[in-house]
Every structure is written in C-alpha cells, then in structure tokens.
Structure 1
Amino acid sequence: MNTLVLSARRAAAALACAAALVSVAACGNASGGTDAASSARPSAAAKGSPGAASNGLEKLAAKEIYNNSRQANADAGSFREQMTREDAKSDLRISATECAGSVEMAQRGSFEIVHKGDDVWASLDASLTKWVNSQFGLTLSADTWIHGTPTHPLMKGFVSWCHTEQISDPDTAGANLNPAKGKVTVVDGQEVVPVSISGKDETVTWYAATTGEPYYLGQDSSRDDMPDITFSDFGQPVGAQKPSGPVQEAPQE
C-alpha cells in the first residue's frame, strides 16, 4: 500500500475518533458504562401539548423507555440531529442511507457533508484542508467537494459523523445499563419522561416524549467533553443531492 493511502487511512482514523464521541453507543456507555453522555432540549418540531393524551411510555420500565424511544426514532425513517460539544458541533439530517449537513471541529476547521447511498461528498474549509494536508501528506483543495465511497479510507472518516446506524440498527440498553426512571415533566413545552444513569459523580439523562410518538428527543449530561444532542424533524426527507461546484476525487486506494 502506498504512502498516500496510509495517510488517508490515518486521516480517517483521526476524524472517526472525534466523531465517535457523538454517539453514546460509540463511547461504550449504552452497553454498560456509567460515564455521562450528552444533553438536549426538545425542539419545536417535536413538541406536544402539555396535558395531551399519554402514549403510555411513562408506564414502562426504564430500559423499555430507552429501547422504545430509540426504536421510535428509527421507525420515523429520518430526523435532524444537532450536536454541540466543547470541541465540536454538528447539524445533520440523517436517514439509513442519506446524510447532509455540517460539522465544525475546534482548532481544526469545518466541513459540509453529503452522503447518498454509495456516494459521499465532503467540502472542507481552508483551515481543515490545511490541517489534513499537513498532518497526513495529502493534497486536498479547500472549498472543493471531495468525492468517494463510504468505505474509502478517507471518506469514511467524514461520514462516520453521520451515525446512520441510529436508523438501521437503533441502540438498545445493554445488560449492564441500569437506568432509573424519573417523573414525567415538561421540557420546552413537551411532556417527557427522563431516564438516567449516574456514576463517578456524573449523570446522564435521556428524554423521551410521553405524548404523540414516543420519540427520543435528546440527552443531558454533566460532562463538558461529551455532546449535547437534540433530535427533531422526524420523518422529514433528508433530500441529499449531488452537490454543485468543483469535485476532486478522493486519493485512490
């Protein structure tokens, strides 16, 4: 394998490492850890009226709430995921086969991404382009769409931020995850039931809607280095399309 391909693989690993922190499952918490994870507030698109008929979610055990709310998001087929973390933020629309939006990484730069089926396009700003080129010996051009497949050693680093597995293979509570169920409350006008875990003086809480569809609306964590996430726009098309403008093919494998 030539040096260029090795560099592309290293770049992908670095980008994927940053992206992994977006997902509770990717960090190992959902399968049994007690580290805190993330935060959210339901958006207007997911709101239900306080006092509306209950969907019955709050009557279930904590693990069932966890599982059912994630399945409800998957069943919607698509949603908008907005994430913020101390060193990154993203705004992505996601389905099982599509993803479109933007990612910003502190001290590195930002990129736009479009993922549709077997195609991925990423447009890096000047700062991120310079960082990737200098760190990994590549010759990417700023503000040019880089094109490749989701399995390409470089492109999979960008597409790993999309977490399309939330639709195709939604997370479930592992045997070692023992969440506690809280009382139904209202967050930003939406009735929710909180489910939380605590450990090492840290707490992570998940919010699931108790009226309308039992969507998983977001997470709240006490850790600054883990993401705050809000889910909304359930079932709305991602609408990923091949971008216009100059395109540069990703380094050959």
Structure 2
Amino acid sequence: MHTHVQSIRRAAAALACTAALVSLTACNSDTGAVESAGDSTASPSAEASPAAEPNGIEKLSAKEIYNTGMKTNGEAGSFHEKMERDGNKSDLRLSATECVGTVELSDNGSFELIRKGNDIWAKPDATFAKGMNSALGESALSTEKWIHGTPSNALMAKLTSWCHQEQFTAPDTLDADSKATKGKVTTVDGQQAVAVVLADKGESVTWYVATTGKPYFIKQVSTRDDMQDLADSDFGTSVGAKAPSGAVVAAPKV
C-alpha cells in the first residue's frame, strides 16, 4: 500500500532536530486492526443517509474495495477525520488545500492548526509551548499567539503533516501482492459497510467501506501499537479555513 495508509501511521515519530519534538509528526509505520471483520467497536464515523441505496461494492475483490474507497474519499474533495493511538489524537476537517482542527500529543500537549493554501497557523497549549521553548532555547511559542509560516518552515511542515492532504492528491492503493481479504458486510456506527482485513503475525488492520450511497472509506481499526484507529465522515462539507484572529508571529526555525 502506498500514500494514504503510510501517512495515517505517522503518530509517534520523532523530529530529528530535538527530543522535545517527539510525537510531533503523524507517524509512518506499518499496518494493524480489529480481531474480526464482523465486529466493530464504536467510534465516530460517517452517518448513514436514510435514503442511501446499495452500491454493490461488497461484490468486488478486497483490493478493489479498498482502492475504490480511498479514491471515493479523495473525490469527495473534503471530509472530517479523527485519529487516535496511545494518547495521540487529531480531530481535523481537511481538503487538498485546507485543514482546520486540533492535535493532541499525549503528554506533550496540544495545538490548534489552520492551513489555507501555503499559509499555516498553529497555536499551542501551555504544555506544548513549554516543551518547544525548552528545546529551542528561546521563548518562541506562547499560548497567547499564533505562529505562522509555510511548508518551507520545518516546524510548520511537521505540524501540518497531520492533515494528510495527500489523501486527495494521491489516494492510497493496495499493492498487487497484498494479502488483504474481504470480510463480511456489517454495521459500523449505524452504517452498512464491508470489511477489508490485512492480518499478519497475530496482528491485523481492518478497513471499512460503505455499502450504501457512495462507497466511502469510513473507518480503520488496528491492533498494532504503531497504527492509529481513524474515522472519516462529513464528506464534501466545506472546510472553511480562515486566517486566525488575534496576535500572530513568525514561526521559529528548528
């Protein structure tokens, strides 16, 4: 598998510049999932439309289901994505050019994030600001001010990596030799979906693709420590990113 799954896995990777930036980047690791394709634990996901008609996606192969789900999400233009693993969480609305929401980094604090085109703004909480300032050796971050930069700034590039905007520009596909198998059609948070399961060495990852309405990829559940659980919803809803109000300062160089 390529871009989407890889980018999703970025939850615990460290920035090479300093130990204080551990967990800043969304991780880039391997696959994981639920014990059974037929059992789904509760988490936010796409809401089913009462009028949604069956789309027949469950008749395709596991690879075709996965690839179609990822492509359909990219074609939606925007969606709401929540991810979580080992205390690291993100709650973001995103498109190919916009991203708005929050990221929590376990014991390392949290930050608000806005991206609109090449402009990126972030506002830290006290814990994140303290850790960054200690690592940088200067009082560059404050809970009272937004920092601003572009992807050319290493810090802002790491922060905005949580937006996974490559999902729109280069949706992931399963490799030709993938061992993924098709599971049963089940109910995932009130919506009918078919499971695609990839299991290896007692660990697995399960992806769910909606079987009614458009075949959106709506959920991932993992048993691996280096993979996140995630849910996508609100497809096609405008992100509406805007420059923040209040004090803004230039992002520090790291």
The interval holding the TM-score normalised by the smaller chain is: 0.7 to 0.9
Amino acid at match of 2:245: S
Query: What does 1:8-157 correspond to in 2, within 5 Å?
Result: 10=17, 14=21, 18-21=24-27, 26-27=28-29, 29=30, 35-36=31-32, 43=44, 45-49=46-50, 53-143=53-143, 144-157=145-158
Q: Which runs of 5+ in 1 are unaligned?
A: 1-7, 30-34
Query: What does 1:211-222 correspond to in 2, within 5 Å?
Result: 211-222=212-223
Alpha-carbon shift at residue 186 of structure 1 (Å):
1.5
- Partners of 1:131 and 1:122 in 2: how far apart? 15
Alpha-carbon shift at residue 55 of structure 1 (Å):
0.5
Q: Per the alignment, do residues 132 and 252 of structure 1 end up closer, same or farther by CA in structure 2, a change over 3 Å counting?
A: closer
8 A Cα contact 1:46 1:217, kept in partner: no
1:189 counterpart residue number: 190
SS in 2 for 1:251: coil
1:241 counterpart residue number: 242
8 A Cα contact 1:42 1:231, kept in partner: no
Alpha-carbon shift at residue 183 of structure 1 (Å):
1.6
Amino acid at match of 1:64: E
Q: Per the alignment, do residues 37 and 142 of structure 1 end up closer, same or farther by CA in structure 2, a change over 3 Å counting?
A: farther
Q: Per the alignment, do residues 13 and 161 of structure 1 end up closer, same or farther by CA in structure 2, a change over 3 Å counting?
A: farther
Q: Which runs of 5+ in 2 are unaligned?
A: 1-14, 35-39
Amino acid at match of 2:189: D
| C-alpha distance after superposition, 1:116-155 (max 9, x if no partner) | 0010000011110110111233432322100000221111
Alpha-carbon shift at residue 19 of structure 1 (Å):
3.0
- Partners of 1:40 and 1:164 in 2: how far apart? 26
Q: Per the alignment, do residues 200 and 12 of structure 1 end up closer, same or farther by CA in structure 2, a change over 3 Å counting?
A: same
1:4 counterpart residue number: none
- Partners of 1:115 and 1:230 in 2: how far apart? 21
TM-score (ref. length: structure 1): 0.84
Of 147-156 and 61-70, deviating more is: 147-156
- Partners of 2:211 and 2:25 in 1: how far apart? 30
Alpha-carbon shift at residue 83 of structure 1 (Å):
1.0
| C-alpha distance after superposition, 1:75-97 (max 9, x if no partner) | 00000001111131110001000
Size of the aligned set, in residue pairs, is 234
Alpha-carbon shift at residue 41 of structure 1 (Å):
5.1
Amino acid at match of 1:90: S
Amino acid at match of 2:87: D
| C-alpha distance after superposition, 1:27-85 (max 9, x if no partner) | 2x4xxxxx4168975746431459x6320110111001000000000000000001111
1:32 counterpart residue number: none
2:7 counterpart residue number: none
TM-score (ref. length: structure 2): 0.84
The share of aligned pairs that are identical, in percent, is 49
Amino acid at match of 1:20: A
- Partners of 2:45 and 2:227 in 1: how far apart? 24
Q: Per the alignment, do residues 152 and 11 of structure 1 end up closer, same or farther by CA in structure 2, a change over 3 Å counting?
A: farther
1:230 counterpart residue number: 231
